[in-house]
Structure 1
Amino acid sequence: MYWELYLFFLGISFVYAAVGFGGGSSYLALLAIYGMPYLELRLTVLVCNVIVVTGSVFVHLRVGQLNWRRTLPLVAASVPMAYLGAVVKISQHAFFCILGISLLAAAVLLWMEKKTEPDDHDVPEKKPAVKSAIWGSGIGFLSGMVGIGGGIFLSPVLNLARWDTAKKIAATASLFILVNSIVGIAGQWKQSLENVDVVRMSSLCMMTLIGGQMGANLAIGWEPLVIKRVTAILVLIAGVNVLAKNVPFIWS
């Protein structure tokens, strides 16, 4: 086990907590680069997601930023699909190929986000629940299969679609990450638990707990777009790295 991983997890959770994400994509990228077994990797990342994002969800609930009428169809549709994605058995090679492609897609989506003021979206009175359900089910399935909460995909998609105000999108993404991470854990628990180094996973989770609490309380004034752009670059590099190791023709 590389000791610097603990510092990386501390820093990642600190930064992601500032913008309401769990950090799953970056945890995944790091652990993939360091060669952690993929079954342990997915379960570790999902538990870390839950630890980091739970505080954000409580904050959003307390200040009333969740638009339940728009959020419920999206989150509800994601639940069965996230579980289905989690229980699907795929080979380690296929997993890392899907992960690499997902990271590249996430990097592009994050980079495409534009700076918005908290309430500058011209939000229509009604949003089709069917469209939200389709987004939720698709991102939920991918999240369950790869082992992330899905916020890194959902937030850019909703912002680009002008789905709601920036604050309410952040609140929705936080709830989406929490619910899908819990569902993913439920789906992967049996097949992953016997392959997990409990001490290692617990230590990494402790780092995310510390970093997440620090980020939620100290990084409120940070510019979210800057953090997302930096994250996009890091995720892009990680995605290329993962694919380079698992798809040989990239370098041929």
Structure 2
Amino acid sequence: MLHILFALLLAIVALLYSSVGQAGGTGYVALMGLAGFAPAVIKPSALALNILVSAIGCVRFYRAGLVTWRTCYPFAILGLPFSLLGGALHLPAGMYQPVVGILLLVAGVQMLRPVSGRDGEAHRKGPPFMPSLVAGGVLGIMSGVTGVGGGIFLAPLVLALGWAGARQVAAISAVFNLLNSGAALAGAWVTMPDLPAELPLWLLCVGAGGYVGSWLGAFYLKPETLRKILSFLLIAGALRMIGSVVV
């Protein structure tokens, strides 16, 4: 029963995160940490779950006409190789939680700021190439080291700079999560290939949650609602990680 309950909690995390184009990496990491799994299991498992949920989101957002080559490829050019590198690197246990927690808290607070009225032109042109290239590289290595995908950091940045609207940001994040999680898992596999026996059940549950969540995000949730959900998830995840260190 405990195994089933844990899998259902993972499914709820996947549903909430996928509605805003995220794969749920921070949620999976927090849950597995609470359940007592070792870091060598948490990182590759979270990345494997990220890949499935973000793949479902990519398909859903593509069918909704929100995924375009122009908005996605600049982030991937450096994001992929740096995610691969980050996947092979590992933060000391005492640094992992506070570093990720602070990053999430900053991103979550940023999401609470009102959207600037100047971003209509930026939406039409798409993200600028060079800044997107740099952002993809920096966030790529962050996602590889932490095992949380990277889209959770990319979305607030793109929204704050007015490079895309809320729905398109969700689509960009889904693609970024898929590519970076795949590269990071390849890098992590070289040094710590431990995967739990429960992973097939987890994949089944997060797949179902990701399917429902991406459907809600692509077709039904309003942009303002997407921002509020993402902000809540970021701040909740940050407080959980920072709180675990303080305690």
Which one of 205, 208, 233 corresponds to residue 207 of structure 1?
205
Tell me: CA distance 1:126–1:5, structure 2 relative to 1, closer, same or farther (3 Å).
Answer: closer
Q: Please state if 1:121 is matched with 2:117.
A: no
* Percent of residue pairs bearing the same amino acid type: 25
The alpha carbon displacement at 1:141 in A equals: 1.0
Shift in Å, 1:21: 1.7
Contact 1:155 1:173 in 2 (8 A): yes
User: Does 2:27 match 1:26?
Assistant: yes
Aligned to 1:232: 231
TM-score under structure 1 normalisation? 0.83
TM superposition shift of 1:97: 2.7
May I ask how many residue pairs the two structures share in their alignment? 243
Equivalent residue number for residue 153 of structure 1:
153
C-alpha distance in 2, partners of 1:115/1:45?
34
d(CA) in 2 for partners of 1:16, 1:224: 14
Identify unmatched segments of 5+ residues in structure 2: none
1:139 is aligned to 2:139: yes
Point out where structure 1 has 5 or more consecutive residues left out of the alignment: none
The one-letter code sitting in structure 1 at the alignment partner of 2:93 is Q
Q: Aligned partners of 1:7 and 1:161: how far apart in 2? A: 36
Q: What is the identity, as a one-letter code, of the residue corresponding to 1:222?
A: L
Would the aligned equivalents of 2:150 and 2:180 in 1 still touch at CA under 8 Å? yes
In the alignment, is the contact (CA less than 8 A) between 2:10 and 2:28 conserved in 1? yes
Instruction: For 1:55-70, list aligned pairs within 5 A.
Output: 55-70=56-71
Q: 1:97 to 1:208 in 2, by over 3 A?
A: same
**Deviation sequence 1:184-228 (CA, Å, 0-9, x none):** 1101113222x332x222222221011112333456323354354
Q: Deviations over 1:115-169 (max 9, x none)?
A: 99xxx72226475421111111111111111001111111111111111344433
- In structure 2, relative to structure 1, the CA distance for the partners of 1:33 and 1:72 (3 Å cut) is same
Aligned ranges 1:1-252 → 2 under 5 Å: 3-112=4-113, 114=115, 121-123=120-122, 125=125, 128-193=128-193, 195-197=194-196, 199-217=197-215, 220-247=219-246
Residues 74 and 132 in structure 2, CA contact (< 8 A), matched pair in contact too = yes
Once the two structures are TM-superposed, the CA of residue 243 in structure 1 deviates from its matched residue by 2.5
User: Contact 2:13/2:24 (CA < 8 Å) preserved in 1?
Assistant: yes
CA contact (8 A) 1:150 1:180 kept: yes
**1:240–1:35 distance in 2 versus 1, CA, 3 Å:** farther
One-letter amino acid of the counterpart of residue 175, structure 1: V
TM-score (norm 2): 0.85
In structure 2, give the amino acid aligned to 1:142: M
CA distance in structure 2 between the aligned counterparts of 1:222 and 1:29, rounded to whole angstroms: 26
CA-CA distance at 1:68 after TM superposition:
2.0
CA RMSD of aligned residues (A): 2.7
Q: What amino acid sits opposite 2:241 in the alignment?
A: V
